[in-house]
Structure 1
Amino acid sequence: MNQSAKRYSPLQAVLIGGAMATTATISLFGQAWTRCVHAALQDSPKALVYQVWQLVNREYVDSKFNQQDWEATRQSLLSKDYTSNDQAYVAIREALQKLGDPYTRFMDPKQFTALTTQTSGEVSGIGIRMEVNEKTKRLTIVEAIENSPAVKAGVKSGDEILAIDGKSTLKMKVDEASNLIRGKAGTGITLRLGRPGKNQFDLKLTRATIELPTVNYTLKQEGGRRIGYIRLREFSAHAADQMRRAIGNLNNKKVDSYVLDLRGNPGGLLQASIEIARMWLDNGGIVKTVDRVGGSEETKANRTALTNQPLAILVDGNSASASEILTGALKDNKRALVVGSQTFGKALVQSVHELTDGSGLAVTIAHYYTPKGTDINHKGITPDIQLDLTEAQERQLAANPDLIATVNDPQYARAIVALSNTKFAQPMTPPQSSQPLSIRAEDLKF
Structure 2
Amino acid sequence: MQKKFFRVVFALVLAFWFGFAGFCQSAIALTDEQKLVSEVWRIVNRAYLDETFNHQNWAAVRQQILQKPISDQQAAYTAIQKMLKSLDDPFTRFLDPEQYRSLQVNTSGELTGVGLQIALNGESGKLEVVAPIAGSPADKAGIQPRDRIIQIEGTLTEKLTLDEAAAKMRGPIGSIVTLVVERDGETTPRQFQLKRDRIELNPVIAELRPATQGKSVGYLRLTQFNANAPLELARAIANLEKKGANAYILDLRNNPGGLLQAGIEIARLWLDSGTIVYTVNRQGIQGSFEALGSALTNDPLVILVNKGTASASEILAGALQDNGRANLVGETTFGKGLIQSLFELSDGSGLAVTIAKYETPHHRDINKLGIQPDRTIPSKQITRDQVATEADAQYQAALELLEKQAVVVGSV
The normalised TM-score by structure 1 is 0.65
1:277 aligns to 2:250 (yes or no): no
Q: Does 1:347 align with 2:337?
A: yes
Indicate the residue corresponding to 1:73 in structure 2: 61
How do 1:23-422 and structure 2 match up within 5 A? 40-41=29-30, 44-122=32-110, 175-177=171-173, 212-224=201-213, 225-389=215-379, 393-394=380-381, 396-397=382-383, 401-422=384-405
| Residues 241 and 41 (structure 1), Cα distance of their counterparts in 2 relative to 1, 3 Å cut | farther
For the 8 Å contact 1:331–1:338, the answer to whether it is kept is: yes
In the alignment, the residues of structure 2 paired with residue 409 and residue 271 of structure 1 have an alpha-carbon distance, to the nearest angstrom, of: 31
Instruction: Write the distance in 2 (CA, Å) between the matches of 1:335 and 1:425.
Output: 16
Secondary structure in 1 matching 2:237? helix
Conserved? CA contact 1:130–1:174, under 8 Å: no
Q: How many residues align?
A: 312
CA contact (8 A) 1:262 1:319 kept: yes
Is 2:62–2:83's contact at 8 Å kept on the other side of the alignment? no
Tell me how far apart the structure 1 counterparts of residues 407 and 76 of structure 2 sit (CA, whole Å): 57
Q: In structure 2, what is the Cα distance between the partners aligned to 1:174 and 1:81?
A: 32
Distance 1:353 1:305, change over 3 A: same
Specify whether residues 37 and 238 from structure 1 end up closer, same or farther in structure 2 by C-alpha distance, changes over 3 A only: farther
Gaps of 5+ in 2: 1-23, 113-134, 141-168, 176-198
Q: Deviation per CA, 1:244-278: give whole Å up to 9, x if none.
A: 10000000011121010111111111111111101
Find the aligned partners of 1:342 and 1:245 in 2 and give their Cα distance.
Answer: 29
TM-score (norm 2): 0.71
The amino acid across from 1:221 in the alignment is P
Question: Structure 1's 318 and 131: CA in aligned 2 closer, same or farther, altered over 3 A?
Answer: closer
Greater relative CO (CA pairs within 8 A, separation 6+): 1
Moved more, 80-89 or 311-320: 80-89
Residues in 2 aligned to 1:387 and 1:38: alpha-carbon distance in whole angstroms: 61
SS in structure 2 at match of 1:353:
strand
**Partners of 2:35 and 2:360 in 1: CA distance:** 39
Tell me, which stretches of 5 or more residues in structure 1 are unaligned?
1-34, 135-172, 180-209, 428-446
| 1:337-375 Cα deviation digits (max 9, x unpaired) | 100110011111111111122221111111110001111
Question: 1:178: how far off?
Answer: 7.0
Counterpart-to-counterpart distance in 1, 2:404 and 2:26: 66
The verdict on how the C-alpha distance between 1:53 and 1:308 changes in structure 2, with shifts beyond 3 A counting, is same
Distance (Å, rounded) in 1 between the aligned partners of 2:223 and 2:402: 22
- Point out the structure with the larger helix share: 2
Pick the structure with greater CA Rg: 2
Partner Cα separation in structure 2 for residue 366 and residue 402 of structure 1? 38
Q: Kindly, what percent of the aligned residue pairs are identical?
A: 47
1:290, distance to aligned residue in structure 2 (A):
1.1
Contact 1:222 1:416 in 2 (8 A): no
> Letter of the aligned partner of 1:59 in structure 2?
A
- RMSD of the alignment, in Å? 2.7
**Structure 1 counterpart SS, 2:299:** coil
Amino acid at match of 1:111: Q
Structure 2 counterpart SS, 1:422: helix
